[in-house]
């Protein structure tokens, strides 16, 4: 189709979808309504299980299987990226030239690195208490490592980043989640049952298996993001095609 | 007051989303996307969803734009290298 | 009616909205600078919201913005340097504005806060914001084609 | 025993994690053997539950069993249809892993396990989607299966078309998935539930459907029909299936696309079939429209392909259309027939792709014209390919023929004619390829028009071009065809499929007669096989003349490979879906 | 107006994202537009879960049952959705990089290779 024809088909489609969505919007419960039966039950159960952060309770206890699927998507996507951005047969690696970084930027980034790392770990560790959790903290912690790229250059980052280890870490995090879930089966009850002692509300060890699953996710996400960014950085900085530079 | 904040955040998000689509050059779009991530963070906070706000912040304002930028850089480097290689090939004979 | 929330709303309408416009139009260097200011403003709004809703845990979001925001700008300066070469330099106005806005928001917040962990957190966030903004503005001003066209 | 149900999903996931963790240290055969073992174990578990557990198998994960009729957890709800589908998926995965055993493209450096790991993740996604009884959880597994499938499609990164096909696949399917999620959001807002059964009950309690229910139905169906590649949501499929690695094609065409139909059935039955849902007549004519469109377009496009894998891909579009028609009849007999048709089709289509893969790896081409007469030496492959073509056309006693016959019986004369024609044309196209490529019949055609997709210039997927066909690659299509044959002749299987369909479809109270052979069914099957053979003979005999114009050109030109076009058509399809569903509510 | 504004904004974001996706001249931009489409789902989900004058159900600093709380379930769903969005974006960008490498262009108009 040429651009004009495409635009007509598109406008027809957009008009239909718009009519559908707007009609539905006016039939939805009004914004801010009091009708949240599932939500109310979830809050009730979260408190009964001594998990202060009800969202973490839903994520890692009541609907932990969703999170399992979500982490598998992350795992699959990272594996897919590793496969898709591999060094092809007609490509080779070049060593990037060292970068010149202004002194204040370097100092700032190097100071920030440990701060960001600690913040990331803090967000993971407090997942069942305050906003945050394995995913959010994992991403922040992984970002911390990449400050080295900003402070120095890619080669410096590569030196402290044993990629193989991170790939294994990604898989171990995923496996840890799966196996923690299987503990319920060994106890003779359903998969992903929260069978550990619940602790007291609002303490670090509260919530039974919630902190364990949370930690597994934190590990997987941090490793996965490092691997993911490594593949993109490799492509952007190091990998070239044969004959590209003669 | 809460409703005013939510309405403001919603309008900001709508504007940022429109900008992210209207800016058609990918590197510039990455900037618009990162602002979309930030406005979404604001919206989620006023909708009382701090957990989602944190994830959106980590993903939308840092990770996604960075990946977009790296892809742009890779694609650019390719075409740049190709132009250089062609120029050299032309100079040689 | 809650003064903190009113301030947050004002900052959103008068601060974040124009930043959106500047980040979507004009030369690239101005867009990056606008994005940088945007992270700072969002961080301040988040601090005001945490106070206004009386929910200290919300401060964590602001902390993460303060950490990641300037980092983002540094990445843009690094990766987009070659393209920004010919764009006009931004004056120091943005940095001055950033420092003043941070001070204007953080001072009342600190005064309203009783001494303790949350006060330290606020101060850390403030320091990160000011430091980050100054450094990233410098990096942005220094981003030139020949420097940024490194392969690392 | 019910608690073992999640293991059908968890086992392959754990296998994938193990393969990635250990992939750096173990040799390739060990990684592949582990993957095969785990896929087989999953299949065995699914079959065991199917045969020995009282149906339906219900497991509330995390032991969140409902109190006062409500729960906060996720439920796996596996009736026999679901478990049977999971078993079918797992068996096909096993076949694919055996097919790619050692011969498939060398793995990336230090990542020996990545291909089998991706296949296992794919399996977990499909099994999860089939077994779950929770709407959002279904979306999660839908996405898992999508994400892995995009990566697998683009697996051969050196092939330009493969990465482009993977991208198109990814963009269109993601858009469909987001539409689906909007639908989930709407239903949650209305009912405050996520378990499918509870949503259905809550809708029914509220009374007649309104715009919101309609919108939710249309959005959910958009996602599922994109996956099922119903016209006009189908454009991504030929682009992706023609270029994906052959083992992946076997899974994509054999089961993944059909899961879109399965999902449509599941969501209609559980959520929308009550008084608060969408009236049955509306669903019937909506699905019927999409089914007929897909069957017709798929068959026509299939006939005019010369790229063999692309030809098979279009035949999948056509057959998915037939499955949609079978579902649209909303008759339990037709449901049983469709299920049987689907099982037979999975075996036949996977076998045909496997044969096409042998051609590609042996001769470095997948083009009907370029391969003319070159594959005379591959007698066994030729036999499999021809048998596959006949089975596709509906020759008794293949399972496809029985399924088709039973569905036709419920469908009435006009639709029966369509069934016969579509299966004859798609089967005929395959037989035509077989006659030209393996038999060398007819004159070698001159170079085709430029506008076509030719299958030349494709690379073999094995490490080197094969000089002989390895036993595993040949055994797999053979076994798959035998499976399709058994599906047609095992009465035990027929009664099992019949009762599974009765159980799954709503409103069936008395046990119906299971799918069985009847005289008109056999005759119609023979007729369509004969028509297919006739079409193939005509096509081979007819002198080739390159016409500059063809009446089908406008339709063919729509398949442009342009992402923008495909997105526009997807939205237009949603509009059509909405319009059709609306006519029933007014 | 406030009763439906959030839902209408979600619809707008979805539509504008689709428009950008279909008219895009650059595949990287197209993937960005897909991310915009997905933002619509977050907005819809969280709007559905909001409760007037509610606050987050995080009881680290809050005594239970003293203030109305918003729905935690949609937040968990949105969280999953955010992760899914990020990973899909990453994977699609990886495919875009390979397309750029193999086809030497990112313009969909120049990529119409698969025809008929």
Q: Which residues pair with D70 in a beta bridge?
A: D67
From chain A, the residues in CB contact with B71 under 8 A are 232, 236
For residue A92, give the H/E element and its range.
strand A91-93
Residue A57: pLDDT band with limits 50, 70, 90 = very high
Percent of chain A with pLDDT over 70: 98
pTM, two decimal places = 0.95
Q: Which two tokens stand for residue D509?
A: 């109270």
Per the structure, the count of domains in chain C is: 1
- Least CA distance to E54: which residue of chain C? C53
DSSP per-residue codes, D532-575: HHHHHHHHHHSPP---S--TTHHHHHH----HHHHHHHHHHHHH
Q: If you average pLDDT over every residue of chain B, what do you get?
A: 87
The answer to whether chain E touches chain D by having 3 or more C-beta pairs less than 8 angstroms apart is yes
Q: Which two tokens stand for residue D5?
A: 């149900």
- Residues 50-89 on B with a CB inside 8 Å of E are 50-52, 55-56, 59-60, 63-64, 67-68, 71-72, 74-75, 78-79, 82
Q: Please report, in angstroms and rounded to a whole number, the separation of the first and last CA atoms in chain D.
A: 47
pLDDT score recorded for residue A195: 79
Task: Using the predicted structure, report yes or no on whether residue B88 has a pLDDT greater than 70.
Answer: no
DSSP per-residue codes, D264-319: HHHHIIIIISSTTS--HHHHHHHHHHHHHHHHHHHHHHHHT--BHHHHHHHHHHHH
pLDDT score recorded for residue B89: 63
* pLDDT single digits (tens) D57-89: 999 999 999 988 889 999 999 999 999 999 999
Give the distance from residue A46's alpha carbon to the nearest chain D alpha carbon, in angstroms: 10
* Residue B59 and residue B40 in contact, taking contact as beta carbons nearer than 8 Å: no
Residue D452: pLDDT band with limits 50, 70, 90 = low
A56–chain B Cβ distance below 8 A for any pair: yes
Q: In Å, what is the CA distance from C135 to each residue of A104, C141, C146, D34? A: 7, 10, 20, 53
Q: Which residue has tokens 């790296």?
A: B70
* Residue A71 and residue A175 in contact, taking contact as beta carbons nearer than 8 Å: no
Q: Cis bond leading into D232, ω under 30°?
A: yes
* Residue D365 and residue D371 in contact, taking contact as beta carbons nearer than 8 Å: yes
Q: How far apart are CA D474 and CA D478, in angstroms?
A: 7
* E58 to A52: CB separation less than 8 angstroms, yes or no: yes
Task: Using the predicted structure, report yes or no on whether residue D135 has a pLDDT greater than 60.
Answer: yes
Q: In Å, what is the CA distance from D452 to each residue of A1, D310, D321, E5? A: 16, 11, 24, 49
Q: Which of B84, E30, C40, C61 is nearest to D172 (CA)?
A: E30
Rg (CA), chain B: 19
Task: Using the predicted structure, report yes or no on whether residue A35 has a pLDDT greater than 70.
Answer: yes
pLDDT score recorded for residue D145: 95
Q: How far apart are CA C65 and CA A2, in angstroms?
A: 44
* C71 to A105: CB separation less than 8 angstroms, yes or no: no
Give the distance from residue A105's alpha carbon to the nearest chain C alpha carbon, in angstroms: 6
One of 3.40.50.261, 3.40.50.2300, 1.10.287.3510, 3.40.50.170 is the CATH number of E5-55+67-110, namely 1.10.287.3510
Give the distance from residue C107's alpha carbon to the nearest chain B alpha carbon, in angstroms: 22
For residue D75, give the H/E element and its range.
strand D75-78
Q: Which residues pair with D151 in a beta bridge?
A: none
Q: How far apart are CA D289 and CA D16, in angstroms?
A: 40
Q: Which residue has tokens 């080197």?
A: D464
E9–chain D Cβ distance below 8 A for any pair: no
Q: How far apart are CA A79 and CA E87, in angstroms?
A: 11
Lowest mean pLDDT among A114-123, C115-124, D79-88, E3-12: C115-124
Q: Which two tokens stand for residue D493?
A: 């299987």
For residue D526, give the H/E element and its range.
helix D519-541
Q: Give the domain range for residue B73.
A: 2-91
Task: Using the predicted structure, report yes or no on whether residue D539 has a pLDDT greater than 70.
Answer: yes
* pLDDT single digits (tens) C103-152: 999 999 998 888 888 899 999 999 999 999 889 888 888 766 544 444 44
Rg (CA), chain C: 16
Q: Which two tokens stand for residue D15?
A: 């296998």
- B48: region left, alpha or beta (phi > 0 left; psi from -120 to 50 alpha): left
* Residue B8 and residue E5 in contact, taking contact as beta carbons nearer than 8 Å: no
- Give Cα D402 to chain centroid, integer Å: 18
Contacts of A50 (CB under 8 A, 6+ apart): A198, A199, A200, A201, A206, A207, A208
Q: If you average pLDDT over every residue of chain D, what do you get?
A: 91
From chain B, the residues in CB contact with A240 under 8 A are 81
Other C-beta atoms within 10 Å of D209: how many?
Answer: 22
From chain B, the residues in CB contact with E101 under 8 A are 78
Q: Which residues pair with D75 in a beta bridge?
A: D60
* B17 to E86: CB separation less than 8 angstroms, yes or no: no
Q: Which of E98, E94, E109 is nearest to E25 (CA)?
A: E109
E56–chain C Cβ distance below 8 A for any pair: yes
Q: Cis bond leading into C136, ω under 30°?
A: no
Q: Which two tokens stand for residue D309?
A: 């894998």
* C79 to B69: CB separation less than 8 angstroms, yes or no: yes
Per the structure, the count of domains in chain B is: 1
* pLDDT single digits (tens) C28-69: 989 999 999 999 999 999 999 999 999 999 999 999 999 999
Q: Which two tokens stand for residue D494?
A: 């027929």
* Residue E75 and residue B52 in contact, taking contact as beta carbons nearer than 8 Å: yes
Complex-level ipTM: 0.95
- Return the partners of chain B (3 or more C-beta pairs < 8 Å): A, C, E
Quote the longest CA-to-CA distance of chain B: 74
Give the distance from residue E64's alpha carbon to the nearest chain D alpha carbon, in angstroms: 19
Q: Which residues of C touch B (CB under 8 A)?
A: 1-2, 5-6, 8-9, 12-13, 16-17, 19-20, 23-24, 28, 31-32, 35, 38-39, 42, 45-46, 49, 53, 55, 57-58, 60-61, 64-65, 68-69, 71-72, 75-76, 79-80, 83
Q: Which of D175, D153, D286 is nearest to D223 (CA)?
A: D175
Q: Give the domain range for residue C73.
A: 3-148
pLDDT score recorded for residue A17: 97
- Where exactly are the structural domains of chain E? 5-55+67-110
Q: Which residues of C touch E (CB under 8 A)?
A: 53, 55-58
For Cα atoms C133, C136, C137, give the angle at the middle one, nearest 5 degrees: 80
Q: How far apart are CA D479 and CA D473, in angstroms?
A: 11
From chain B, the residues in CB contact with A217 under 8 A are none
Q: Cis bond leading into B22, ω under 30°?
A: no
Residue D553: pLDDT band with limits 50, 70, 90 = confident
- Least CA distance to B62: which residue of chain C? C72
């Amino acid at each position: 189709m040429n651009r004009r024809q495409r635009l007509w088909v598109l406008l027809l489609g957009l008009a239909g979808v718009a009519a559908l969505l707007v009609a539905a919007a006016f039939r939805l419960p009004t914004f801010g309504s009091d009708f949240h039966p599932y939500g109310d039950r979830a809050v009730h159960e979260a408190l009964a299980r001594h998990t202060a952060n009800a969202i973490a309770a839903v994520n890692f206890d009541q609907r932990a299987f969703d999170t399992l699927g979500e982490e598998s998507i992350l795992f699959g996507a990272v594996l897919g990226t590793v496969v898709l951005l591999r060094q092809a047969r007609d490509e080779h690696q070049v060593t990037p030239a060292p970068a010149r970084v202004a002194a204040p930027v370097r100092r700032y980034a190097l100071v920030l690195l440990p701060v960001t790392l600690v913040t990331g770990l803090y967000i993971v560790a407090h997942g069942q208490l305050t906003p945050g959790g394995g995913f959010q903290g994992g991403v922040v912690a992984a970002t911390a490592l990449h400050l080295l790229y900003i402070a120095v250059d890619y080669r410096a980052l590569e030196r402290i980043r044993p990629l193989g280890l991170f790939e294994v870490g990604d898989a171990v995090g995923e496996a840890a989640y799966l196996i923690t879930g299987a503990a319920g089966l060994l106890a003779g009850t359903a998969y992903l049952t929260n069978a550990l002692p619940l602790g007291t509300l609002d303490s670090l060890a509260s919530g039974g298996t919630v902190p364990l699953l949370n930690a597994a996710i934190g590990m997987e996400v941090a490793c996965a993001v490092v691997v993911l960014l490594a593949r993109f950085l490799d492509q952007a900085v190091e990998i070239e095609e044969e004959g590209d530079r003669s | 007051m809460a409703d005013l904040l939510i309405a403001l955040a919603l309008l900001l998000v709508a504007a940022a989303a429109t900008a992210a689509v209207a800016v058609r050059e990918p590197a510039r779009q990455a900037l618009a996307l990162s602002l979309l991530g930030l406005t979404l963070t604001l919206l989620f906070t006023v909708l009382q969803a701090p957990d989602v706000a944190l994830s959106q912040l980590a993903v939308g304002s840092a990770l996604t734009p960075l990946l977009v930028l790296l892809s742009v850089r890779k694609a650019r480097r390719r075409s740049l290298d190709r132009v250089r290689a062609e120029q050299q090939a032309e100079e040689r004979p | 009616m809650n003064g903190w929330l009113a301030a947050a709303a004002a900052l959103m309408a008068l601060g974040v909205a124009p930043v959106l416009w500047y980040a979507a139009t004009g030369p690239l260097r101005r867009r990056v600078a606008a994005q940088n200011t945007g992270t700072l403003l969002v961080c301040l709004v988040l601090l005001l919201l945490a106070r206004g809703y009386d929910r200290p845990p919300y401060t964590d979001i602001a902390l993460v913005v303060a950490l990641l925001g300037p980092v983002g700008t540094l990445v843009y300066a690094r990766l987009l340097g070659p393209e920004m070469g010919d764009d006009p330099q931004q004056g120091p106005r943005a940095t001055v504005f950033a420092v003043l806005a941070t001070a204007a928001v953080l001072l009342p917040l600190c005064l309203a806060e009783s001494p303790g962990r949350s006060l330290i957190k606020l101060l850390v966030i403030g320091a990160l914001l000011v430091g980050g903004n100054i450094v990233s503005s410098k990096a942005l001003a220094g981003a030139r084609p020949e420097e940024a066209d490194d392969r690392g | 025993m019910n608690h073992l149900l999640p293991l059908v999903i968890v086992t392959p996931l754990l296998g994938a994690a193990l393969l990635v963790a250990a992939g750096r240290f173990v040799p390739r055969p060990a990684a592949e053997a582990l993957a095969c073992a785990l896929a087989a174990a999953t299949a065995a578990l699914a079959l065991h539950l199917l045969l020995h557990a009282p149906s339906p198998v219900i497991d509330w994960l995390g032991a969140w069993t409902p109190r006062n009729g409500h729960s906060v957890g996720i439920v796996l709800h596996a009736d026999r249809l679901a478990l049977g589908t999971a078993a079918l998926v797992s068996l096909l995965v096993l076949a694919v892993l055996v097919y790619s055993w050692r011969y498939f493209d060398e793995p990336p450096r230090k990542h020996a396990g990545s291909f089998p790991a991706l296949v296992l993740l794919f399996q977990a996604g499909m099994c999860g989607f089939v077994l779950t009884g929770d709407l959002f959880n279904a979306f999660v597994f839908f996405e898992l299966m999508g994400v892995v499938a995009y990566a697998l499609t683009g697996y051969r990164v050196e092939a330009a078309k493969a990465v482009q096909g993977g991208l198109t696949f990814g963009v269109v399917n993601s858009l469909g998935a987001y539409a689906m999620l909007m639908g989930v959001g709407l239903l949650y807002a209305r009912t405050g539930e996520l378990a499918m059964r509870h949503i259905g009950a809550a809708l029914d309690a509220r009374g007649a459907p309104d715009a919101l229910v309609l919108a939710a139905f249309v959005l959910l169906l958009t996602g599922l029909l994109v996956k099922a590649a119903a016209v006009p949501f189908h454009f991504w499929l030929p682009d992706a299936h023609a270029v994906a690695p052959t083992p992946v094609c076997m899974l994509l065409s054999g089961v993944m696309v059909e899961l879109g139909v399965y999902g449509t059935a599941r969501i209609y039955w559980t959520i929308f079939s009550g008084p608060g849902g969408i009236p049955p007549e509306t669903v019937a004519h909506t699905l019927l429209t999409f089914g007929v469109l897909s069957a017709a377009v798929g068959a026509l496009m299939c006939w005019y392909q010369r790229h063999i894998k692309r030809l098979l891909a279009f035949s999948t579009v056509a057959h998915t259309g037939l499955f949609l028609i079978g579902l649209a009849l909303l008759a339990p007999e037709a449901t049983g027939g469709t299920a049987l048709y689907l099982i037979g089709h999975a075996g036949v289509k996977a076998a045909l792709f496997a044969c096409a893969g042998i051609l590609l790896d042996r001769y470095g081409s997948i083009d009907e014209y370029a391969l003319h007469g070159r594959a005379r030496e591959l007698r066994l492959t030729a036999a499999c390919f021809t048998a596959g073509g006949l089975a596709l056309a509906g020759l008794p006693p293949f399972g496809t023929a029985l399924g088709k016959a039973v569905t036709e019986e419920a469908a009435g004369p006009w639709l029966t004619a369509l069934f016969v024609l579509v299966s004859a044309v798609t089967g005929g196209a395959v037989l035509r390829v077989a006659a030209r490529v393996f038999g060398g019949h007819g004159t070698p055609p001159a170079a085709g028009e430029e506008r076509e997709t030719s299958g030349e210039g494709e690379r073999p997927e094995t490490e080197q071009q094969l000089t002989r066909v390895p036993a595993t690659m040949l055994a797999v299509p053979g076994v798959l065809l035998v499976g399709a044959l058994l599906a047609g002749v095992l009465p035990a299987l027929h009664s099992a499929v019949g009762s599974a369909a009765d159980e799954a479809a709503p409103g069936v109270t008395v046990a119906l007669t299971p799918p069985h052979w009847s005289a008109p069914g056999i005759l119609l099957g023979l007729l369509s096989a004969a028509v297919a053979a006739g079409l193939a003979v005509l096509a081979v005999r007819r002198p080739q003349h390159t016409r500059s114009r063809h009446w089908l050109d406008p339709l063919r030109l729509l398949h442009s490979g342009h992402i923008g076009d495909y997105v526009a058509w997807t939205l237009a399809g949603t509009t059509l879906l909405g319009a059709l569903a609306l006519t029933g509510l007014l | 107006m406030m009763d439906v504004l959030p839902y209408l904004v979600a619809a707008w974001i979805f539509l504008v994202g689709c428009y950008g996706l279909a008219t895009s001249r650059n595949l990287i931009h197209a993937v960005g537009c897909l991310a915009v489409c997905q933002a619509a789902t977050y907005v819809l989900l969280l709007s559905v879960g909001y409760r007037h004058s509610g606050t987050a159900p995080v009881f680290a600093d809050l005594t239970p049952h003293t203030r109305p709380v918003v729905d935690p379930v949609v937040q968990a769903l949105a969280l999953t959705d955010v992760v899914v969005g990020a990973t899909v974006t990453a994977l699609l960008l990886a495919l875009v990089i390979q397309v750029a490498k193999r086809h030497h262009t990112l313009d969909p108009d120049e990529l119409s290779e698969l025809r008929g």
